Amino acid sequence: MSNHDKPIEYGRAPVEAKVKWASFGGYLGSVALLAVLQAVDADHSLIAFWPDWAEAVAIPLLPTAIATVSGWRARHTPRPDLPISQR
């Protein structure tokens, strides 16, 4: 039996660092957003100049931006168990 006849065995894939950091960034962004919303709830003049539709669009951007940047900045998790063509 040659090496080409054997099925490829993969190790259990670790959760990539990119996924971990993006999740953590999303969590931090959500916590920061909740803090801002609590401050704004006490003083509506902080966002009163924004139209309602802009508030609805802008508020989810903070956690999304933090998760995107943290996932982009994190290093790729190497997978030495994969064939070179799939790394």
What value does the mean pLDDT take over residues 68-76?
81
DSSP string, 35-54: HHHHHHHH-GGGTTTS-HHH
Q: Is residue 68 part of a domain?
A: yes
Q: How confident is the model at residue 20 (pLDDT cuts 50, 70, 90)?
A: confident
Q: Is residue 37 part of a domain?
A: yes
Average pLDDT, the chain: 75
Q: Is residue 53 part of a domain?
A: yes
CB 64 within 8 A of CB 56: no
> Helix 61-73 and helix 17-42: axis angle, to 10°?
150
Q: Is residue 33 part of a domain?
A: yes
Burial environment of residue 4 by CB neighbours within 10 A (0 to 12, 13 to 18, 19 or more): exposed
Q: Is residue 8 part of a domain?
A: no
pLDDT at 44: 67
Q: Using the predicted structure, report yes or no on whether residue 4 has a pLDDT greater than 80.
A: no
pLDDT at 3: 58
Count up the domains in the chain and report the number: 1
Q: Is residue 30 part of a domain?
A: yes
The backbone torsions φ and ψ at residue 72, rounded to the nearest 5 degrees and listed phi first, read -70, -35
pLDDT at 17: 79
What value does the mean pLDDT take over residues 49-59?
77
| 38 compared with 5, residue with greater pLDDT | 38
Q: For residue 66, what are the domain limits? A: 17-73
Q: How confident is the model at residue 9 (pLDDT cuts 50, 70, 90)?
A: low
When computed from its CA atoms, the radius of gyration of the chain, rounded to whole angstroms, is 22
